[in-house]
Amino acid sequence: MKAKLILENGDIYVGESFGFSGETTGEVVFNTSMTGYQEILTDPSYAGQIVTMTYPLIGNYGVNLEDLESARPQVAGFVVKEYSAIASNFRATMTLGEWLVEHRIVGIQGIDTRKLTKTIRSAGAMRGIISTETMDDEALLAKVKRAPEMTGLDLAKQVTTKESYRWNKVDTTPFALPTLGNEERGRFNVVVYDYGVKQNILRRLTSYGCTITVVPASFPAEDVLKMNPDGVFLSNGPGDPAAVKYGIQNIKRLIGKKPIFGICLGHQLLALALGGKTYKLKFGHRGGNHPVKNLKTGSVEITSQNHGFAVDPASLDESTIEITHVNLNDNTNEGFRHKTLPIFSVQYHPEASPGPHDSDYLFGEFVRLMGR
């Protein structure tokens, strides 16, 4: 079946439909990862976005039920150069196309993804539409221009859990488990604010001896303090951090009262709560090969990233905040810590393990702060 992708600048791409037949709008972005499409598709940080994969062949190892980062695909749409309808992997339970149909995710294949990626890099991420329902260019472009902008959009409230819950699933990958004695397992009680949390973050925290309670994005800080956790974790998530005002206010009430660790959107919200500012990147960082320098050790970590906004390091109070990590591609901020309080955060995803273990020490650092 024929499908069209139209960008808000008027660019038109004609290809073939795979996945669900229909129509969808969203911010068109690209991801440079060679593998991991299932984790990308289920990452809640991609809510509201049409994701383009720069690697040309996608779908060849199918889909399984073990590598999900959330219960279902979160993307608005999916764009690939070539979709493999044949899944060859002993863990696969269905093809990627079948899975997208099941979850009503619209996809398009057979377009020039290199051209699309270069356009996004030059002009910036922009709104787009994928349709199998109509090929009327003018009508589709009008729908694109009515779609919401990502700036000013609070998407955390759309992907967060509705109710608090306990998490007890451990990462059982043998090489990934830290060395813990039985007396250390379950030693620390951690409250996780769910702004769109990835499941592997929860598995890594549990593997480091944490008992996890996940709470909604708007859960009152006063109720968190009544739970008397050993630490508070601020999760990743989609949208504009400045729009998540309730999250910023809750974090302000927790600063100085509990150890805090933030990742991705959690990093940005923590910066805003500390008086900093955030801004929208031209085309964002999305992929599994971003080099980040640890300024404390001088080492370089290969990191997984997925964000369209960043923290302005110049807006942070240098008398209380220390910059700890920087992106070697564009010198954007990748991490900071408070100089006197047990608070730190990073922009990238240490749980995603592209290094594969370059950044796992951050979970150990959180545990160390809680154990003081």
Q: Enumerate the active-site residues.
A: 264, 349, 351
Q: Model pTM?
A: 0.95
Dump pLDDT digits (tens) for 99-147. Answer: 999 999 999 999 999 999 999 999 999 999 999 998 899 999 999 999 9
Q: What one-character DSSP code corresponds to residue 43?
A: -
Measured CA to CA, the distance from residue 117 to residue 108 in angstroms comes to 15
Mean pLDDT of 239-251: 98
CB 111 within 8 A of CB 82: no
207 and 344 fall within a common domain: yes
Residue written as tokens 């809510």?
47
Q: Tell me: the pLDDT tens digits for 160-171?
A: 999 999 998 776
Q: Which helix (H) or strand (E) holds 123?
A: helix 113-123
Query: Tens of pLDDT along 255-269?
Result: 999 999 999 999 999
Question: Is 137 in the same domain as 235?
Answer: no
Its domain, for residue 345, covers 156-370
Q: In sequence order, what are the residues at sequence separation of 6 or more whose Cβ sits closer than 8 angstroms to the Cβ of residue 102?
A: 94
Task: Looking at the structure, tell me whether residues 79 and 57 fall in a common domain.
Answer: yes
What does the pLDDT read at residue 346?
A: 98
348 & 221 share domain: yes
Based on the fold, state whether residues 57 and 132 are members of the same structural domain.
Answer: yes
Do residues 164 and 201 share a domain?
A: yes
**Number of domains observed in the structure of the chain:** 2
Band (pLDDT 50/70/90 cuts) for residue 63 is very high
Query: Is residue 231 located within the same domain as residue 354?
Result: yes
In CATH, what number is assigned to the domain containing residue 337? 3.40.50.880
Domain boundary among 95, 125, 146: 146
pLDDT at res. 23: 98
Same domain, 87 and 211: no
Phi, psi at 235, each rounded to 5°: -85, 170
Please determine, for residue 179, whether its predicted confidence score (pLDDT) is greater than 70.
Answer: no
Tell me the per-residue pLDDT of 9-59, one tens digit each, with 9 for 90 and over: 999 999 999 999 999 999 999 999 999 999 999 999 999 999 999 999 999
Return the pLDDT at 167.
95
Burial degree of 101 (CB within 10 A; 0-12, 13-18, 19+)? middle
The answer to whether position 361 is within a domain reads yes
